[in-house]
Each structure stands twice: as C-alpha cells, then as structure tokens.
DNA sequence: TGACGTCGTGCAATCGATTGCACATACTTT
DNA sequence: AAAGTATGTGCAATCGATTGCACGACGTCA
C-alpha cells in the first residue's frame, strides 16, 4: 500500500522488488514469454508488480516494438449523428482487441485533413479508418506513402485502393424509388449529395437507374452542397421552383429535413402533397414529424466490419484489399403515401 | 522525391542529410530552441527534413519529455447524441492546441471504467476528461492516485475533487417548472434521472424547490433507471398510473420521448392532455412530434470550457480546481400549452 | 567422468528524440 | 594582447521496455 502516486512504478522497480533483472521481469509479465521463466519467479514478479501498482508504459514499449496499439479514426464531424453509431462500433471492436482509438474531426478542407493524418502518423498509429473519403482522396495517398494501413467506411474512393466498407448506395436508392413508384408516383425528384462523395454519386446513379427501369424521366435532380439541413433546404427551393413533383427521394436524412422545412414554408404537406424518402435512418429520425420513411443502413455493422478489416490487415499485411457492400433496407414510416388524385 | 515509404525518416537521417549532429537537428526543428542554432544551419536542417519527408515521432519524443500530447476522453456512450456535441467541441480545442483525443466508450460498469482509465494511463495521457462521473466516482480516485489531471464535464461528483463543467441543473429545472406554472398547471409530475448521477439528483432537487416556491406538492416523482427512451417509458407508466397530471417535467429529452410513446399508447395527446418539458435540447429534438419544449444546455460551450480547464491545469498543475456552472435556457416549442378546462 | 542439451536468467544494445554539459570559435572589453 | 563572454555544435546520457545473445547450472547419456 505504498504511496506510488508521484512516480509511476517502472519495470525496473518491479524487478528490484522481485529481486530479478528487469529483462526477466519483462518476460514474466508478458504472457507470450512467461514460459521462458521459472514458474516460481513468474509468480514472484507478478506479485511484486501488483504490490507496487506497476503499469506497463505503452509508449516506451511501443518505441521498441513499433506497436503503438493506437488506431486513428477520422470523421467529417463527430457531432454529425450519422457517424456516431459507426465510430461507437469501431471503438468497441478496437477496445476488445486491446487497441485505443485516436479520433479526429476533419471538418475543414483537404489541407487540414492531411495535417490531421500527419498528426496521427506522428503518434505512430498502426492503422487508420477514414469516414471522410472523397472519390479520389489525397489522404489515402498520404497513408499509402507513409505505409499506414487504411480502411474506408461509409464513403468509398472511385477506384478501390484500400479495403472499404460501404452500404449498397445504388441498391438503397433503388428501393426508395421503387417504393414511390409502387405507391403510384410518377413525377419524382431527387436531392443529391455532393458529387465528390461516393454516397452522393452512387445514390444519384441509383436514382437514375431506378427511374429508367420504371420508364420515368430522371431530370428533376438538384445536388446539395453538403449533407446539412440548410443545404437540403437550398436544394429543395431550387427543385420545387423548377419542377412540379409528387415525391422526392433524398440522398440523406438531413437533406430530407431541409426539404421538410421548405415544404412547411410553402404550406405544402407531407405526405399529402409530397412524399419524401430519406437515406441513412439516422438515430431519432423516427421521431420527426412526420416520421421519415428512409433507407436504413447498418451503421454499427459497417463500423464493426471496418475495424475488423483493419485489424486483420495489421495482423497480416499482405491481405488483399476487399470491398464490403452492406445491403440496406427500406423503412416505411409516415412521410410517404400515394399521390393525390 | 525518394521512396521513403518503407522506413519512416528518422531524425538521424535528417541530421546526416544536413551534415550536422542529430542534437543540432533536433534543436533546429524545435521552434523553442531554434534560436540556439545558427540561422543558416536551421534553414539547412529544415530543408533536409522537408526533402526526405521527416516526421517527428511523438512516441519517442514523449518517452524522453514525458509529454504524450494525448488526452483521454471517457463517455458513457459515443452513440448517445447528448455527448456528441460535447466530445466534438473538446476534440476541436485539443486539436487547436496540438493534442490528440483518445476516446473511449465506457458503457459497462465501474470495473470496466477502471480498466479503460488504466488503458489510457498506460498510454501516458497527460489528462482525462470524464463525462461519466457518478456522484462519488472511483475513476476520479484512480486518476488522482495515478497523478493524472482530470476534468469532469456534464456530470459532477458530489464533492468537487476536480475541476468540473456542468450546466445549472437546479436552475434549468426551475425554468421548466416555472414555465408550466405560468401556463396554469398545478398537477405537475417529474420523471427523474438515475439518482447516482448528479444530473438526476440536482434536477430532482430543482424540481422540488421550484414546486415548493409555487406552493405546489412535489410528490408525483418517479426515477428512471437510465437515460433511455425505454427507461423513460417505464417510468412514465408508473407515474401516470399513480397520478392524475396535466404536465410532466423530465430530467432528459430521451426520457421525454419515452413519455411521448406512453402517452400515445394511452391515447393521450400532447400538449392537449398533458404538457411535457424535456432537458438538454439534444440535436434533432426540435424535429420530433410535437416539437419538444426543453431546457437547452450549451453542450459545445461546456466541452470547450472543459478542454480549456484541462489544458490550463496541465500547463500549471498547481491551479485550483474550479467548478463552472453554465446557465441553461428554456426553449419553448410545441409540447407545452395551458391545461384544459 | 566428460561431452552435450536444455532451461532459466542476466547483459547490453536498441528504439528515436531530447537535453545538460563541455568545448571550440569568434567577439568584446580593459 | 590577454582575459572574458557570448554563441553555436557536438557528445553522451536518458526516458522505459524489449530482445538477441551469452553464460551458468543442471541433468542425461555414453
């Protein structure tokens, strides 16, 4: 019950307390090497370690072993609800495997992102998970240069240079359109996400394909500047000014909320006047008014798989890069109904 | 343009490239010590560093300097929307000061939390920010033992051992009650948070005081097991079964949502039959049906201040512990109205 | 009894950067 | 011109843990 509060106990202190050399103590404390040491000594060292409250210094150990047990996670914005479940799931998997998560907001532009990734590299992260990927992402390039394994989640690059876990964006948007068509809608518009993001591009593609299959025109399309309510509303204004629609499929729930606001401002009612379908099924979106019909993506599952992919890669660097596409599902709530008349 | 991808450049390599000793290179690259070195040499070293793509190894540097430039953040659940803005703000401040955030989910019990904090300590975090504090928290004790500066955010301990940033829980709840009283409500109930959390205890206290000041009985009180929708609904069932109320003030928005569900199940309408006030004003809560009247707490501000407090403490360890109480504000939306009849 | 394994432990180098100290050079000062 | 003072660099120890190698002790077998 010593007062070990001032100077954290070092391995040398344990060794002294147990009357052995510090290398012996090191081995005794390492499950993988403990068999090299006599059982009685192992016991003695472990007892000493417990007694003086020894805690291994990951920093020092990492210097020698080149293993920081740190994984970097980069998200566009932690406060964005879409990413919370993904990050949470990633962290859980990492923790279960003895890794800690170094999480960074990458709000700003690409320059800032590079800066962030360099910061992570400086901490010798063993790998990174990026939720920020653009269709051609300089950050991925930077990771490759630095030899840091990277995995993409939620957003993909145009050509898959690294392992990636995304939802089936094309298929998801198809579900949305098919649902609207089945309800009897013909004049269907689309509020798309930024085109430099895979989600924006692929969901737009899915929209086009599904509309064509239904024999409908897909010309009522406006692209939002960002995945925000405000950008959604701005896009909605443009879309509604230019087209006479009975339904809109949006690339993202926040965009749908922006559309909600504009509908309300125009005195239009959802779903009576216009049906709306979102995308992502972010937390709480089931509580909005009206409850949003949306495409549910398995965020926790994506996060988990991304983490597992990265850990596998770290364990076996020559592993092939794979792209996992997670199917999404339509969740019908109150924002869609047959068109009037 | 060398292929530096395999072995990351070391300081020694920079020194060699610049034709100086590595200690000189170290100083030339450190803004605080660069003045010790000749301007021309500094220039030469920096050029060399740039040329071979040198990146300082925080791990190795930290070993010597005892500065990891890492801050631990512990939250109950990253996927919980209440914490997202707080964590996001913390991370932003840390990044601006050259620190990185090591974030951990502390879902499980106290044992798991201790394990997590030990993991953080093993990474030699220079400080931790805890959003998990119980009224008497063993994790805080553990930090004190290990000599790691800690700051509490959102939830406080009963006796302030470390600096803390919380919202004015008592006052916030008073605002809620006063609002309901002003509308004409007399029979007002309360769904409280877990009593081992400061938010639960203080908001309950605020409820009692405000009711007393209004000359009303504060006996319609039920405590929820946790801050979740399900626990809120369970508490709502008990509360509604036992009391005939016209309004309920809840300790948390999620609890209010649970109450919403139960009201709907019973065919009661909000605010026509029962008014509801939430607490926290979490993201998106303005979009629920009906839009929730709630007490807005300045989450980003709290996160920012917590981070600043911690950084100040790290810079100057003898700093006094302070408790910052951030005033909250009532946001009136659609879930409150005068009682009928 | 001597050669040879095996097993357990200690020694010392190593990871990469930082820093107190010593030393050499140049520049004042009297 | 000698002594004294900046000024700029190099040397080597240091942070804490890991690990290849060597060495001593013990046991076995011939």
Contact A164, A157 (CB under 8 A): yes
Average pLDDT, chain B: 94
SS3 content of chain A, % helix, strand, coil (to 5): 45, 15, 40
In this prediction, residues A277-302 reach a mean pLDDT of 94
Please check the confidence at residue B4 and state whether its pLDDT lies above 50. no
Q: Which residues in chain B touch residue A78, judged by CB atoms under 8 angstroms apart?
A: 84, 87-88, 91
Q: Tell me if A283 and B147 make a contact (CB, 8 A cut-off).
A: no
pLDDT in tens, A80-127: 888 999 999 999 999 999 999 999 999 778 899 999 999 999 999 999
pLDDT digits over B256-269, tens only?
999 999 999 999 99
Q: Which of A260, A209, A273, A220 minimizes the C-alpha distance to A243?
A: A220
**Residue-averaged pLDDT of chain A:** 94
CA distance B88 to B179: 31
Which residues of chain A lie closer than 8 angstroms to B257, CB-CB? 287
Query: Does position A297 have pLDDT exceeding 80, yes or no?
Result: yes
Please give the average per-residue pLDDT across B297-312, as a whole number: 97
Q: Phi and psi at residue B146, in whole multiples of 5°?
A: -85, -5
Size of interface A-B (CB pairs under 8 A): 156
Residues at the strand D interface (Cβ < 7 Å): A 10-12, 22-23, 26-27, 29-30, 33, 54, 56-57, 60-61, 63-65; B 20-24, 27, 35-41, 63-64
Residues of B in contact with A55 (CB under 8 A): 118, 121-122, 146
8 Å CB contact of A59 and B63: yes
Ordered domains of chain A (ranges, CATH)? 11-56 (no CATH), 68-167+299-327 (3.40.50.2300), 169-297 (3.40.50.2300)
Task: Assess whether pLDDT exceeds 80 at residue A67.
Answer: yes
**Å between B73 CA and nearest CA of chain A:** 10
CA dist B75 and B130 (Å) reads 6
Nearest to A133 by CA among A87, A103, A166: A166
pLDDT tens-digit series, residues B123-152: 999 999 999 999 999 999 999 989 999 999
For the ranges A192-196, A334-338, B56-60, B104-108, which has the lowest average pLDDT?
B104-108
CA of B111 to C1' of D18 (A): 30
Distance CA(B258)–CA(B340), nearest Å, equals: 23
B37 CA to C24 C1' in angstroms comes to 15
If you average pLDDT over residues B162-174, what whole number do you get? 97
User: CB distance B291–A290 less than 8 Å?
Assistant: no
- Percentage of chain A modeled with pLDDT above 90: 87
Whole-number pLDDT of residue B1: 34
Residue B190: which H helix or E strand, with range? strand B188-192
Q: A287 and B288 in contact by Cβ < 8 A?
A: yes
Query: Mean per-residue pLDDT for B194-219?
Result: 97
Chain B CB contacts of A116 below 8 Å: 95
Query: How buried is residue A318: exposed, middle or buried, by Cβ count under 10 Å (0-12/13-18/19+)?
Result: exposed
Q: What is the pLDDT of residue B125?
A: 96
Instruction: Give B7's pLDDT tier (boundaries 50, 70, 90).
Output: low
Give the whole-angstrom CA distance, residue A128 versus residue A150.
5
């Amino acid at each position: 019950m010593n007062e070990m509060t001032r100077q954290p106990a070092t391995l040398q202190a344990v060794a002294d307390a147990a009357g052995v050399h510090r290398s012996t103590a090191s081995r005794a404390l390492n499950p993988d090497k403990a068999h090299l040491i006599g059982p009685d000594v192992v016991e003695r060292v472990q007892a000493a370690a417990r007694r003086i409250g020894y805690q291994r210094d990951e920093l020092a150990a990492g210097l020698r072993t080149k293993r920081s047990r740190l994984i970097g996670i980069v998200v566009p914005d932690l406060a964005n609800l879409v990413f919370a479940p993904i990050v949470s799931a990633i962290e859980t998997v990492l923790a279960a495997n003895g890794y800690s998560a170094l999480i960074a907001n990458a709000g700003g532009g690409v320059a800032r992102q590079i800066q962030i990734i360099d910061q992570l590299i400086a901490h010798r992260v063993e790998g990174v998970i990026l939720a920020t990927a653009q269709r051609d992402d300089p950050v991925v390039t930077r990771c490759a240069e630095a030899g840091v394994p990277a995995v993409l989640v939620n957003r993909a690059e145009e050509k898959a240079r690294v392992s990636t876990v995304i939802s089936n964006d094309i298929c998801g948007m198809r579900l949305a359109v098919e649902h609207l068509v089945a309800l009897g809608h013909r004049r269907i518009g689309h509020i798309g996400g930024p085109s430099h993001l895979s989600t924006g591009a692929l969901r737009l593609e899915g929209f086009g394909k599904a509309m064509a299959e239904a024999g409908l025109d897909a010309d009522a399309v406006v692209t939002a500047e960002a995945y925000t309510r405000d950008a959604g509303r701005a896009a909605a204004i443009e879309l509604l000014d230019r087209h006479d629609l009975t339904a809109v499929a949006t690339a993202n729930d926040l965009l749908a909320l922006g559309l909600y606001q504009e509908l309300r401002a125009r005195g239009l009612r959802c779903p009576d006047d216009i049906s709306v379908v979102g995308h992502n099924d972010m937390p709480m979106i089931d509580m909005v008014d009206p409850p949003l019909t949306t495409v549910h993506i398995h965020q926790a599952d994506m996060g988990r798989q991304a983490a597992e992919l990265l850990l596998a890669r770290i364990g076996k660097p020559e592993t092939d890069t794979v792209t996992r596409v997670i199917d999404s599902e339509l969740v019908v709530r109150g924002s869609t109904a047959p068109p009037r008349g």
